[in-house]
């Protein structure tokens, strides 16, 4: 009888610890590559329904973001820009020059990819063109979001040059 009580107590503690981590946590979505998004950037068309942001160095950003004007981007690492065709062309040339070379800090080959940014309901609210493939979106207050990343996948640290 004493053993049964101990087992039940252990199961209850384990269940409580597992489920308590889920309560009140923000909703995260991992983004994935979408080939249909890349022309949004590579065709060098600036769409008026979007605000544009970049993250990383201004001479070669780690990512570009086109976000629907109805949404607010929260966070410290993104810079809003009034994107011009000239600036976009300059960045795309830099991306093409860097594509295929090795990023020694991340231990991986540089490859820019397009990603859709979905809203909580799954409808597209933006698009990204990113250097690294690990990007997460967290939804906050109505029509607010935070983008975490882009980051090199953790496994990239174990790839030998």
Q: Rounded to whole angstroms, how far apart are CA atoms 117 and 34?
A: 10
pLDDT for the residue 16: 41
**What average pLDDT does this structure show over 25-44?**
84
In this predicted structure, the answer to whether residue 13 has a pLDDT above a threshold of 50 is no
Residues 6 or more apart whose Cβ sits within 8 Å of residue 41: 64, 66, 88, 92, 114, 127, 129
Strands 27-30 and 134-139: antiparallel
Does this model's pTM top 0.85? My answer is no
Reported as a single tens digit per residue, the pLDDT across 50-106 is 999 999 998 889 999 999 999 999 988 999 999 999 999 999 999 888 877 777 777
The verdict on residue 12 lying in a domain is: no
The count of structural domains within the chain is: 1
The verdict on residue 1 lying in a domain is: no
Domain that holds residue 57: 27-158
The verdict on residue 21 lying in a domain is: no
The verdict on residue 74 lying in a domain is: yes
**What average pLDDT does this structure show over 11-27?**
45
**What average pLDDT does this structure show over 6-20?**
43
The verdict on residue 46 lying in a domain is: yes
Percent of the chain with pLDDT over 70: 76
Q: Residue 78 in contact with residue 147, Cβ under 8 Å?
A: yes
The verdict on residue 17 lying in a domain is: no
The verdict on residue 80 lying in a domain is: yes
In this predicted structure, the answer to whether residue 159 has a pLDDT above a threshold of 60 is no
Residues 6 or more apart whose Cβ sits within 8 Å of residue 59: 94
Query: How confident is the prediction for the chain on average, in pLDDT?
Result: 80
The verdict on residue 3 lying in a domain is: no
């Amino acid at each position: 009888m004493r053993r049964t009580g101990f087992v039940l107590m252990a199961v209850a503690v384990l269940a409580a610890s597992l489920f308590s981590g889920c309560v009140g946590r923000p909703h995260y979505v991992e983004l994935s590559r979408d080939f249909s998004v890349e022309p949004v950037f590579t065709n060098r068309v600036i769409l008026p329904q979007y605000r544009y942001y970049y993250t990383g160095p201004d001479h070669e950003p780690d990512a570009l973001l086109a976000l629907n004007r109805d949404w607010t981007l929260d966070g410290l690492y993104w810079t809003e820009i009034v994107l011009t065709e000239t600036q976009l062309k300059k960045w795309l040339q830099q991306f093409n020059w860097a594509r295929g070379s090795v990023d020694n800090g991340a231990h991986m080959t540089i490859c820019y990819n397009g990603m859709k940014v979905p809203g909580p309901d799954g409808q597209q609210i933006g698009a990204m063109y990113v250097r690294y493939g690990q990007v997460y979106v967290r939804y906050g207050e109505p029509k607010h979001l935070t983008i975490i990343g882009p980051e090199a996948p953790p496994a990239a640290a174990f790839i030998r040059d």
